[in-house]
Structure 1
Amino acid sequence: MNERFAIRTKMSEKKRGFYPKHRDTSLDASPNFPIQETETLAFWAEDHTFQASVESREAGQDGSNEFVFYDGPPFANGLPHYGHLLTGYVKDIVGRYQTMRGRRVERRFGWDTHGLPAELEAERILGIEDKEQIEGPGGMGIEAFNQACRDSVLKYTKEWEEYVTRQARWVDFGNDYKTLDPTFMESVIWAFKTLYDKGLIYEGFKVLPYCWHDGTPLSNHELKMDDDIYQNRTDQTVTVGLRLRDTDEMVLIWTTTPWTLPSNLAVAVGEDIDYVRVTPTQGDLQGQTVILAQARLGAYEKELGENPRVSAPFKGSELIGKVYYPIFDYFEDAKAAAIADGTADQPGHVGPGSNAWTIIGADFVSTEDGTGLVHLAPAFGEDDMNVCALNQIGVVMPVDGDGVLTAEVADYAGKNVFEANRYIIADLRDQTGPVATRDARQRPYLVKAASYEHSYPHCWRCRKPLIYKAVSSWFVRVTEFRDRMVELNQQITWTPEHTKNGIFGNWLAGARDWSISRNRFWGSPIPVWKSDNPAYPRIDVYGSFEELERDFGVKIENLHRPFIDELTRPNPDDPSGKSMMRRVPEVLDCWFESGSMPYAQVHYPFENRDWFETHYPGDFIVEYIGQTRGWFYTLHVLATALFDRPAFLNCISHGIVLGDDGRKMSKSLRNYPDVNEVFDKYGADAMRWFLMSSPVVSGGNLIVTDKGIRDTVRQTILPVWNAYYFFTLYAGTCQKGAGYEAKLVDVFDAARVNALPMMDRYLLSAARQLFHDLRTELDNFHIPEACEHVRQFTEVLNNWYIRISRQRFWDEDPAAFDVLYTVLEALMRAMAPLLPLIAEEIWRGLTGERSVHLTDYPNWDDSVHDASLVDSMNEVRDVVSAAHALRKGANLRVRLPLNRLQVVAANPETLRDYTSLIASEVNVKSVEVLSVAESGLQSTQELTLNPKAFAPEVRKLTSALFQAQKSGQWHLDGDTVAFDKVELDGQPVHLTGEQFGLVTKVAAEPGTVADVLDSGTFVVLDTEVTEELEAEGYARDAIRAVQDARKNAGLDVADRIDLKLGVPAEKVAWVKTHESLIAGETLACSVEIKPSTGAEFEINVSKHA
């Protein structure tokens, strides 16, 4: 037994009766839920309940009864946070629910261990700032660095296990998988080779997002995963005049990346864009002629001065083919030499190309910003490279892998690209440095320099600003099967539904080839070996240990660098025997590994081939919405390419958890409650319900606040506990303290159910409806909707059934005990996936059996369902609720009786059997149920408008619509509202959906107040108060005061008392009139009423001897 539990047991009161059956002590009305949870967690650990829940479900023939769940692997080199908590709760709910529905659900935990996250953490620990400290001369070496990575990636596994266990998530840590496992990595290289053999992998030289800090390219999808990848950044922009060779004119270009100007090889114009020649008559440009787009003149008013001479516009096509002087002359000699030896335009030639520094046409040129002429540096822009290649313009690359300018641009060599900006701008402005060495006729001219704030991509791991850079990389040819990915997406059920053809579907439709190689160290290797002599080219691709061992003759035990790099062999295609086959240095993008998880975790195809092929696709996955460009995407890419199937059938893409200030959670801002503090203060179930009942599960965002979690306890967990406590209290004290052991009602016995009192039949029927609704919602992974059904039912249970039936429990009615017991037992089974800890505590307390999580999900049939009774009772509840709202609006307290309530319904017969119940609940002397005709009451509808929801073309008519609303010039037309006098395009305006609302009102007579229910039923309450009513109300106030006194005196609910009651002299007669009522309600054997000295009640209660 848990020590804390043992101590608490000694301090607790001995239980009365039979409940709780799993403890020797009575229940606390307000227990410490966190302590109670730790006791349950200790019990599960000692009992091996999780393992038993899995093993209790048969896998079925060929695993047909297994529910396959993919657990997206987290990194263990950092502590878990609220995002992991949220995802983990969804995973746990689905796993528990499917188990209780009879499926076998293995829940294998996984660890993501490779890639930049691991390397950056190792660099931080080791104090490494660049790759040279790893692989350069005097560096620590790849082997030592990768060992540091291995040590760091599993640093927090213990903390993760504790965290996941405390949140009451069941998962198998003992049979986990790691992406660094040799078996996992072998499946990964198998996938690479399979794609290569299909012609879906190639090596290319392309412009990619590039992290100069980490020295590696990124794939395009990595730039779209998180909202904060793009951050606002202020850079310097420049507008530079480039001098044409055949005229004295300058063309103006604009760029946000001045560091790319030394690499400029072309200028692009739009063939159909209108351009003008402008000759300023004043200012620094006076007398010079510049060319820019006509639409951009306004952006350069200051630089062009007042009243410049502007030519007639001409098309950009007239500029195509014109040649200009390079901004800098670093690469002019290289162009001349290549033209001279005939290599300028040969494939693979690195250099400016024969047509460098020429104006060309491009369809991406616009006039939205800049000058309408685009600076092209093919090494640093994807569009630049593509259009230049079509025009025999090459590539120059004066930037190294660390983002530093090279000796090719000597004046700026050694400077980081972002640092170089200010030096380049200064030289252009002051005509110094390399600009000064140019002939004045050829010099570029700085027309304008300005700060420019824009949204700029940053590395998703190190958070440094990225650059775009041409690099050699290995690619998956995604564009080859992109359309098939779109088709297979239609087989996936998404939550929220709009993800399918929205954010995910749109991303698939525009998917580009995926760069899968990284110039790093810690990861699965690119399994490609190349000849080191271009004269004898050969490429070998390996997809298994067996293939590697066959060719290299050594036992393969480690696929990591540097061990895999050491595998070399003579090139079989080299007759001289001198060239060697050497592995390319790159490793795989860790997203390739994550996307390989379904088959790599089971070492497919080397093991478990039959199991995998009959269990793929997986049934369910969940992660946050950003994974539509991450894990969801890479899973789908590889599943389509390898198996022509989706990787998963059902997916929840939940939203983002935000801090209490609405911003992203930040340790430095301290804008969120500490997870462990929440667990200790409110419990894991409270956090679970707070997250799972919110829109965040369905793709929205959620602000986490202490108050929100606290309200969960008050609004959901305590009401559930209160119902249980009520049952055990009355069942334990009845029959003179001997207690009553309740029996389950056979809900499949229609005769037995139909013989029960109306309220019992209603509760059983409402419970049956709840269980049906929960199965429907959870079958479709609609978790917040399931939570809402439970919340509504607890309202029925506590605030309707138990409150109305309280007298029956006082009277020790066995049927009441049996029905409440039956509903509570089944309710705990239904709630077990959603609130596993409190459901376990209550269910074991009710039954004394092993665990609610080893039971089946409740599935009551129609024997217990009376739809008409449920509908009628729900209408009664609505009537009572509306009447109470009318009371509150009229400042008439509930304990004050009123004379009459009128209920006007379209079908009054359905409510006439419930008039006494309504009268009792509303505290009125009489209830009349009438038809509309019998009542003589008339209703009117008032129209409200919501201009925020108007379409743009309708919004301009808002004033006219409000005028028509006030004058009543509108009518209902089906589900729309039509305005005959307000037209759009010659037709009356119609409003739909959220654009309008209707409020129904009833004209009440004097002395009454009225309201209209959503069903159309009217409720009219008589608000006149007579002295007789006031007297009875005062007596009921006295009853409440006595009940509070009983509680404060520590009396049991069944204890009889002797009561002495003092009231103001003028109220004595009122109280004496209702003495028997007071005695009956307070269990008073004797009542002594006397005048008091003050205005308050004076109460003395003593236990009757």
Structure 2
Amino acid sequence: MRWGLCSLGPGPAAVARIWGLPRFPCSLGWRGRTRGFVVRSVTGASSQLPSSSNGRYRDTVLLPQTSFPMKLLGRQQPDMELDIQQKCGFSELYSWQRERKAKTEFCLHDGPPYANGDPHVGHALNKILKDIANRYHMMRGSRIHFVPGWDCHGLPIEIKALSELGGNTQNLSAMEIREKARSFAKAAIEKQKSAFIRWGVMADWNNSYYTFDGRYEAKQLRIFYQMFEKGLIYRSYKPVFWSPSSRTALAEAELEYNPEHISHSIYVKFPLLKPSPKLASLIDGLSPVSFLIWTTQPWTIPANQAVCYMPDAKYALVKCSTSEDLYILAADKVTPVASTLKTTFEVISTFSGADLENGTCTHPLTPGKASPLLPANHVTMAKGTGLVHTAPAHGMEDYSVASQHNLSTDCLVDEDGVFKAVAGPELENKAVLEEGTDAVIKMLRAAKNLLKEEEVVHSYPYDWRTKKPVVIRASKQWFVNITDLKATAKVPGQPAVRVGFS
């Protein structure tokens, strides 16, 4: 058996050896002589070989012959897509399979996309994967029930609609905003639906559902009322993530964290006002004592209501070598804090955190206002001084402490993220994350209660829609009580709590 191409003399076969054409066994039907080797010329093939004055090697290139176009130019691509749709009958496929007889029915509920923009690759991935599942079950003999829909409510649509208006939209009424959002959603739905149909997705496009439809909203309200009757809906005043840029509360799932966020880190003195009995015996006759706290949110200092400590931790009374002031902080944080403040601390005595019970300190911005010393489980030694400044309106753990000890939870920040008038003339109408922070730092420095201020880069929550930082502020919000639902779900044999209607 002979392998390869055997030339009887100079000619194309010799060139075949030079340019490395594939060798084939003779038993596969290839003749061993060059003149028996069939070649065809393909337009453009000469560009793959070295240029030649007479192009005599052009016919030695083996390429398949096909009428399929190598590329589609201009209107050829959309025209080809439409031609394929018509020939394959994509538009009639869903109705055809619904009319045929089938023993089983496969229903796929469509998690709707937001009607807030043009179709993109995410839509394609979602719809095509669903279409694959539907067609698989159809080919196995099932009848498919697939009604597509669109989520027409929510901030993504509202933000997009308002951004198209430009200028000042603060003066628009709620009804005007809803109408503009509705118009925007309708236009987005038409764009997306047209694309989904062009992609050949098999669905009941004539009966799509939309969450802004009156019938759909009526059903939502009916379910909401049933949940209310079951005691699952309640309104409460508590701290929540709040986006000043979109003026709304956010769930944890609506946050994204920016690891490069820059905040102002400060060390602040809270002068001791009334020592606990144990602490009184330690500082008898000594100069004034202050508690040291650290925070990356200086704008929350005006709302301070307490200073929390860890009951089981060791705390130290120290003397600063630079100012000779007396400070109290966690014993484990003495060295790192002194290093940060570029000084040294002399430890005078140590004691248990429980010995701070019933003590109070003075608010650093409001002389005469007492901030009690309170035990709390959320205090850690990971960062800071082991003492935590507590502003119940701006922290979940802080709010919990306030609930246990009947502290004020008044919020000094409005929906736009600026200080209210109740915060005082020096802070009123200042954005808390911008000039409001600078104003608080200036006030602390003037009160001689600021030990250090520096910028720190850390991870911070942002609104995933506007890509701007959020705050935590207390406000009245509606909540779903899932505690009872969890308890019922865990009881074996207990019927599930039904939320719906007949």
Q: TM-score, normalised by structure 2?
A: 0.77
Q: Which amino acid letter does the alignment assign opposite residue 250 of structure 2?
A: L
Shift of 1:240: 0.2
Shift in CA distance, 85/417, structure 1 to aligned 2, threshold 3 Å:
same
Match of residue 723 from structure 1: none
Please tell me whether residue 251 in structure 1 is matched to residue 295 in structure 2.
Answer: no
Cα deviation per residue 1:375-430 (whole Å; 9 max; x = unaligned)?
Answer: 1000111110111221121212111121110111221100111011112112323x
Q: Distance in 1 between matches of 2:314 and 2:426?
A: 37
Match of residue 395 from structure 2: 381
Q: Distance in 1 between matches of 2:71 and 2:96?
A: 25
- The structure 2 residue matched to 1:475, chosen from 479, 488, 496, is 479
- The structure 2 residue matched to 1:424, chosen from 433, 440, 449, is 440
* Aligned residues of 1:77 and 1:154 also touching (Cα < 8 A): no
The equivalences for 1:898-917 within 5 A come to none
Match of residue 97 from structure 1: 136
Match of residue 42 from structure 1: 86
* Aligned residues of 2:137 and 2:144 also touching (Cα < 8 A): yes
Shift in CA distance, 46/379, structure 1 to aligned 2, threshold 3 Å:
closer
Please tell me whether residue 412 in structure 1 is matched to residue 427 in structure 2.
Answer: yes
Match of residue 123 from structure 2: 84
SS of the equivalent of 2:114 reads coil
The equivalences for 1:9-158 within 5 A come to 28=66, 38-45=82-89, 48-58=92-102, 65-127=104-166, 129=168, 132-134=170-172, 141-158=173-190
Q: Which amino acid letter does the alignment assign opposite residue 642 of structure 1?
A: V
Shift of 1:370: 0.8
Shift in CA distance, 69/369, structure 1 to aligned 2, threshold 3 Å:
same
* Aligned residues of 2:312 and 2:352 also touching (Cα < 8 A): yes
* Aligned residues of 2:226 and 2:499 also touching (Cα < 8 A): yes
SS of the equivalent of 1:471 reads strand
The equivalences for 1:793-872 within 5 A come to none
Q: Distance in 2 between matches of 1:376 and 1:312?
A: 26
Shift of 1:325: 1.1
Cα deviation per residue 1:180-236 (whole Å; 9 max; x = unaligned)?
Answer: 00110011011111111111111111111111222221233433xxxx455531111
Match of residue 244 from structure 2: 212
- What is the RMSD of the two structures over their aligned residues, measured on CA atoms? 2.7
Q: Give me the identity figure in percent.
A: 30
Q: Distance in 1 between matches of 2:460 and 2:291?
A: 27
Identify unmatched segments of 5+ residues in structure 1. 1-26, 135-140, 333-355, 436-443, 489-638, 645-1105
Shift of 1:30: 5.2
Shift in CA distance, 486/69, structure 1 to aligned 2, threshold 3 Å:
farther
Cα deviation per residue 1:614-634 (whole Å; 9 max; x = unaligned)?
Answer: xxxxxxxxxxxxxxxxxxxxx
* Aligned residues of 2:338 and 2:344 also touching (Cα < 8 A): no
Please tell me whether residue 278 in structure 1 is matched to residue 292 in structure 2.
Answer: no
Please tell me whether residue 233 in structure 1 is matched to residue 280 in structure 2.
Answer: no
Q: Distance in 2 between matches of 1:392 and 1:31?
A: 78
Shift of 1:302: 3.3
Match of residue 262 from structure 1: 302
The equivalences for 1:701-1100 within 5 A come to none
* Aligned residues of 1:264 and 1:327 also touching (Cα < 8 A): no
- The structure 2 residue matched to 1:315, chosen from 327, 348, 352, is 352
Match of residue 20 from structure 1: none
* Aligned residues of 2:270 and 2:292 also touching (Cα < 8 A): yes
Shift of 1:175: 0.6
Query: Bigger relative contact order, structure 1 or 2, given CA contacts below 8 A and separation 6+?
Result: 2
The total of aligned residue pairs comes to 415
Q: Distance in 1 between matches of 2:416 and 2:399?
A: 21
- The structure 2 residue matched to 1:292, chosen from 319, 325, 329, is 329
Q: Distance in 2 between matches of 1:298 and 1:372?
A: 13
Q: Distance in 1 between matches of 2:304 and 2:218?
A: 44
Match of residue 375 from structure 2: 361
Q: Which amino acid letter does the alignment assign opposite residue 411 of structure 1?
A: E
- The structure 1 residue matched to 2:199, chosen from 167, 189, 197, is 167
Match of residue 280 from structure 2: none
SS of the equivalent of 1:245 reads strand
Shift in CA distance, 359/156, structure 1 to aligned 2, threshold 3 Å:
same
Q: Which amino acid letter does the alignment assign opposite residue 78 of structure 1?
A: G
* Aligned residues of 2:334 and 2:345 also touching (Cα < 8 A): no
Please tell me whether residue 464 in structure 1 is matched to residue 496 in structure 2.
Answer: no
Identify unmatched segments of 5+ residues in structure 2. 1-64, 276-287
Match of residue 700 from structure 1: none
Cα deviation per residue 1:563-602 (whole Å; 9 max; x = unaligned)?
Answer: xxxxxxxxxxxxxxxxxxxxxxxxxxxxxxxxxxxxxxxx
Q: Distance in 2 between matches of 1:194 and 1:230?
A: 40
Q: Which amino acid letter does the alignment assign opposite residue 475 of structure 1?
A: F
SS of the equivalent of 1:184 reads helix
* Aligned residues of 2:303 and 2:412 also touching (Cα < 8 A): yes
* Aligned residues of 1:195 and 1:641 also touching (Cα < 8 A): no
Q: Which amino acid letter does the alignment assign opposite residue 112 of structure 2?
A: P
Q: Which amino acid letter does the alignment assign opposite residue 302 of structure 1?
A: S
Match of residue 454 from structure 2: 450
Shift of 1:91: 0.4
